[in-house]
Amino acid sequence: MVAPVNPDPVLTLDLRTPEVPVPNQPSSRVLVIDTTDALSEHHTYFEQLARLPQVTGVVLVAVGGLGADPVLRTPSALAGVGVTLWVGDGLGVPWEGGSQRPGAGSTESTVDDLLAALRLPKVFDRVLANVGVMPHQAASPGLAVDYAVVEPGMMRSLKLRALQQLVATGVAARLHDRESTELTSVFRSATEGDATSVRQGSPLYDAMSHAQRELQAAQRSIDRWRTWRGLFGLKQAHRVVLDRLAAAGNALLRHHRVARKALVDVDSSLAEGYPPPGELVEQGLPSPAPVNSEEMAEAVRKAVTTELIGGRTLPGIAEQARRLGNQLGAARSLAFTEQDSAADLEKWARGLISPPPVQVWSRPVGFLIAVAGATTLVSTLASGLGAWPLLLMVPLWLGLVTLVSATAPAGLDLAFLYAITFFASSLCGAIGLGNANNWSPGPLIATGILLGLATIALLSTYLVWRRVVGQWRDEVPLRQAAAADKRLSDQVSRTIAQRWSPADRSRRLADSLLVVAGGVDAVVEVFREAIDAKDPDVGHTFGDSSAGLAEVLHHDLVAVTLEVLRPSFDAIASRLPLSGDSQRSLVRARDLLAAYDDHLEHAGLRELPSFVTDDGPRRRLAATLWQSSASSRHILQLTERSRMTQLCAAEDVRLLQADGAKVVHFASGDMDLPPIDNGSDEVIRTKGDAVGALRLTPILARYVEREVQTQ
């Protein structure tokens, strides 16, 4: 695909300098500046120039008087290819063309304005065409130019202000330097890991899942023990529970050990690079998330751009970037700042391995004995069977108490318990016998009562059993162990998500932020130098356009900053190791600022510098400028008979043939053309910031001669 054709630029050759320039890269348009005296000396040079096949047009600006003759001798070598504009000595003279006498007063436009206008390719072409049909292809130029620029003083001062604003610190910065979330969000997005967890099948995963499994099994075994099965399972059932607890405890310990190792290794790996990540992956950690450097560079660039456009100061951005970078760096380099969230896990595990004894005395069993007494009393009192029920109740109670207390550890003599049980039941039986009426309900009812009592006895025993086991269960640190285990797992997950998985990314981001901070610092330094070098007391008043102008300048300086940072962003995007060397940025910033100053000086503010892409502010500025510039519009209305600066001496005006003059109007492409009702030619739309009228007045034929050199 071929890019649209741009017109060839105009090559300028100034022969007035002692060294005659060599057109090594000839353009099709050549602007030659020479003095009238030296034209014949340079014949060979013109011949060479005309010989270049690329050259399609030459405009020769001959500067100087015509001597006593007075005849302008144009070089014959340029016949057919070039035209001559004769510019007299001195500043020129205001003249209205025609038969008017030259006016008095000072002039506004100079030869430099003429040369600047001729450097615009389209103006060059039009001049070439117009003068080409004039006698001897020679003319005297008259000029009126206006530049849609603000006063240079204002521009300098606003630039100073923009610079100051960009490098402001302290109180001055507070107005603009509101930290926004752009950089922070980049920071946050980098530290947010992907939800990756421990790898299945790895030692860490095994330990973790084993611990969880064992904990659940222990829990389940306790729950089972609390039922009838536990009550009647006697010692064996208790043993099973204890074994489960011990296994859970051991699993927890193992999990703790493995996880701690992993955590410690993560720290050490992140901080010191050892053990290598591979080993950690072996242990069960996922591979660290890959780094998308381009995306990161783009994100950082975008964040910095947004912050800068938003009006942040450079030191503010540098400071924030450095802080965030350091934060990321600290997160990886300081070993294990997070407290061991499962420090008590070992204690709980040990608690599981050796659980506390089951407590049956005194309250549970006491309650049971009380119930035993009561039931025995009722059995003798109400059954009407006399002392016989004792034969059932006493052994029953003895048996039940034995069941309940079978798992109880030593510390309480069973014989004593039995004795109390026997004594209490016997005593109550005796009391019952003593108080019994002579009521005999019949064997069936009596048996029923007895059975009911036996059921009560069994139920109350079961309840007591549940209570005993419940109490014991509460004492066993199973829940704590499970919680600690979960915390441990969480910590591992968190470490993976927050520190391990995004490790590469955050490392890259930290480096990137520090590099950016360094670059910004360099820019700040260069900007400060520029501020210091400026004349501090530039006084001026700001016109209407100052807001737009300030915007353009700020925008440009931001563009300068971004351009300085561009290699840094490229480096960030490139996956290569980043270097904190800001010397390069310093040099680049100096060059760019110098280039920018040069651009302002020569191409003008209105022209887009090469490193600025967004021309919005300039368009807005142009709109403001042209709107407010009445003289620009006036210039486009000028005709051959309008007052312009004729670039010749007042007495030379009589050498001009006033009625063949032509006017070339040109205006910046972004200017809205005023309606022009005179029949002059089209306005040439150019780049640049000038609007002008160039009057080309032919020179009377007898004062021009094409000089042919002889051998």
Is 227 in a helix, a strand, or coil?
coil
Residues within window 296-335 making contact with another protein, judged by CB under 8 A: 298
196 binds another protein (CB under 8 A): no
β-pair type (138-147, 644-646): antiparallel
Which range in 151-159, 163-171, 478-486, 675-683 contacts another protein by CB under 8 A? 675-683
Report the residue number, 110 or 287, with the smaller CB distance to another protein: 287
For residue 574, the minimal CB distance to another protein (Å) is: 13
680 binds another protein (CB under 8 A): yes
Residues within window 128-147 making contact with another protein, judged by CB under 8 A: 133-138
Report the residue number, 330 or 576, with the smaller CB distance to another protein: 576
1 binds another protein (CB under 8 A): yes
For residue 19, the minimal CB distance to another protein (Å) is: 24
105 binds another protein (CB under 8 A): no
Which range in 27-35, 51-59, 390-398, 639-647 contacts another protein by CB under 8 A? 51-59
Report the residue number, 512 or 686, with the smaller CB distance to another protein: 686
Is 664 in a helix, a strand, or coil?
strand
Element (H, E) at 335: none
Answer whether 698's CB lies under 8 Å from 657's CB.
yes
For residue 189, the minimal CB distance to another protein (Å) is: 11
Report the residue number, 122 or 534, with the smaller CB distance to another protein: 122
Measured CA to CA, the distance from residue 578 to residue 344 in angstroms comes to 43
CA distances from 21 to 8, 12, 86 (A): 19, 9, 21
- Residue tagged 């035209």 (tokens): 83
Report the residue number, 28 or 383, with the smaller CB distance to another protein: 28
Which range in 49-57, 355-363, 369-377, 457-465 contacts another protein by CB under 8 A? 49-57
676 binds another protein (CB under 8 A): yes
431 binds another protein (CB under 8 A): no
Report the residue number, 133 or 175, with the smaller CB distance to another protein: 133
For residue 438, the minimal CB distance to another protein (Å) is: 59
DSSP string over 371-439:
HHHHHHHHHHHHSSSTTHHHHHHHHHHHHHHHHHHTTSPSSS-HHHHHHHHHHHHHHHHHHHHHH--S-
Please name which of 510, 535, 631, 474 lies closest in space to residue 144, comparing C-alpha atoms. 631
Measured CA to CA, the distance from residue 328 to residue 499 in angstroms comes to 10
Report the residue number, 51 or 479, with the smaller CB distance to another protein: 51
710 binds another protein (CB under 8 A): yes
2 binds another protein (CB under 8 A): yes
DSSP string over 440-462:
---HHHHHHHHHHHHHHHHHHHH
Report the residue number, 135 or 203, with the smaller CB distance to another protein: 135
Looking from the CA of 17 toward its CB, the CA atoms found within 13 Å total 8
Which range in 48-56, 212-220, 455-463, 490-498 contacts another protein by CB under 8 A? 48-56
Measured CA to CA, the distance from residue 197 to residue 204 in angstroms comes to 11
685 binds another protein (CB under 8 A): yes
Report the residue number, 133 or 343, with the smaller CB distance to another protein: 133
100 binds another protein (CB under 8 A): no
166 binds another protein (CB under 8 A): no
Answer whether 573's CB lies under 8 Å from 294's CB.
yes
Q: How many residues bind another protein (CB under 8 A)?
A: 47
Is 120 in a helix, a strand, or coil?
coil
179 binds another protein (CB under 8 A): no
290 binds another protein (CB under 8 A): no
For residue 642, the minimal CB distance to another protein (Å) is: 17
Report the residue number, 229 or 302, with the smaller CB distance to another protein: 302
Measured CA to CA, the distance from residue 134 to residue 551 in angstroms comes to 46
- Residue tagged 């979330």 (tokens): 181
Among 223, 243, 295, 597, binds another protein (CB under 8 A): 295
β-pair type (684-686, 690-698): unpaired
Q: Which three-class secondary structure string do you get for 570-629?
A: HHHHCCCCCCCCCHHHHHHHHHHHHHHHHHHHHCCCCCCCCCCCCCHHHHHHHHHHHHHC
Answer whether 699's CB lies under 8 Å from 657's CB.
yes
Binding characters for another protein, 635-674, by CB under 8 A (x = yes): --------------------------------------x-
Residue type at position 348: W
What is the end-to-end Cα distance of the chain in Å, rounded? 51
Among 14, 108, 179, 294, binds another protein (CB under 8 A): 294
Residues within window 64-83 making contact with another protein, judged by CB under 8 A: 76-77, 79-81
525 binds another protein (CB under 8 A): no
615 binds another protein (CB under 8 A): no
Measured CA to CA, the distance from residue 147 to residue 607 in angstroms comes to 12
Report the residue number, 50 or 349, with the smaller CB distance to another protein: 50
Question: Applying CB under 8 A, which residues contact another protein?
Answer: 1-5, 7, 43, 47, 50-51, 53, 56, 76-77, 79-81, 133-138, 292, 294-295, 298, 673, 675-677, 679-683, 685, 698, 701, 704-711
